[in-house]
Amino acid sequence: MLQVIVPLDFSETSLNAAHYACAMYKGRTDITILLYHFYADEEDVTTAQNYLTSLKTELLAIAPNIETNVESGDNFIDSLSAYAHVKTAYMIIMGLTGKTGLAQRFSGNNTLKMVEKNVCPVLIVPENARYTKIENVLITSEMKYVEESPTLLAVKNVLNDFKPSLHILNVDDSHYISLTKAFKDERDKMEELLAEYKPEFYFMRLYDFHEAVNMFTEDKDIDVIIIAPKHHSFFERLFKTQHTKKMIYQSKVPVLAVYE
C-alpha cells in the first residue's frame, strides 16, 4: 500500500490540497491518503480530531482508503519529515498560499523546507487548483549529467501512475539554429532512459526561464510540472526573488519537486 500524506492546518488552501489528492487518486485501492495535522500544546486536540474525522468521512466518497493522524512536537517540518519517513511515504501533497506576503512567507517556507528534507517527492498545489486530469506533464531540464538515478525512478513512478504525454523542456539563452554536441548527447541519454514514455523535446532560446515555462505550460496545456530542485538552479532561487515567487504563487499548475 502506497502512502500519500496531506498536511492540514484546516486552512482553505490545505483543505483544497486534500481534495486535490483524493481526486488525483480517485478509486485507487493501492493508495492510502494520510490526513496529517500538527498542533501546538495549547490547541484543542479533540476539536482537531473531530474535524479530521468529519473530513475523512467526506473524502471517503472519493478515495477508498483514508487515515488520520494528529501529532504535537517542537517543529512542524521535523515532525512531518519523521512521520513521512516512518510511513515510507510515496508522496507529500501540500497546498501553497499566495494572497499575502505573510501567507507566502509561512506557507512558502514550510513547503520549500519540506522539499529540502528529501524524504519523498512533494507535490505543491496552488491554492486555486482543481484536479481534472493529468494528461500532459512537463519536465524542465538543464540537460546536464543525465543518468539513471533515484530522482528519475520517482519521476517514472508518477508517469506510470497517469501515463501522460511527456514534454521535456530546456531553456538556455545560448541556443541558436542548432544544438551543440553536448546538448545533443544529454538529450539522447534522456531519450533512451525515458524511451517507454515517448518524450518530446523542446529547446527554447530565451533569457527568462520563468517566462519560457509559463508560455510553454499554457501552449501545451500542461497539468503538472516536474522539477528536481537539487540539480536545478531555478528551484535554488525559488524563494529568493520576488519575480520567481510571483510565478509560482500565481500559477494554476501544480509542481512536483523530486529530490535525489
> How many angstroms separate the CA atoms of 181 and 214, rounded?
27
Q: Residue 253: its pLDDT value, please?
A: 87
pLDDT tens digits, 20-77: 999 999 999 999 999 999 987 666 788 889 999 999 999 999 999 999 999 988 889 9
Confidence at residue 41, expressed as pLDDT on a 0 to 100 scale: 67
- Residue keyed to cell 488520520: 68
Q: Do domains 2-126 and 136-257 have the same CATH topology?
A: yes
pLDDT score for 53: 95
pTM of the model: 0.87
Domain locations in the chain?
2-126, 136-257
- The pLDDT value recorded for residue 207 is 66
- Contact predicate 16/129, CB 8 Å: yes
Q: Please check the confidence at residue 237 and state whether its pLDDT lies above 80.
A: no
Report which of residues 60 and 141 the model is more confident about: 60
CATH number of 136-257, picked from 3.30.470.20, 3.30.460.80, 1.10.1060.10, 3.40.50.620: 3.40.50.620
What is the third-level CATH fold of 2-126? Rossmann fold (3.40.50)
- Whether residue 219 contacts residue 125, with contact meaning beta carbons closer than 8 Å, is answered with no
Cell of 9: 492546518
* All cell numbers assigned to 246: 510571483
185 versus 81: which is more confidently predicted?
A: 81
Q: What is the DSSP string of 107-175?
A: IIHHHHHHHHTTSS-EEEEETT-------EEEEE----S----HHHHHHHHHHHHH--EEEEEEE-TT-
What is the rounded average pLDDT for all residues in the chain? 83
For the stretch 155-200, pLDDT in tens is 899 999 999 999 998 877 666 556 778 778 888 888 999 999 999 9
Query: With 60 as the cut, is the pLDDT of residue 146 above it?
Result: yes
* pLDDT above 50: residue 228: yes
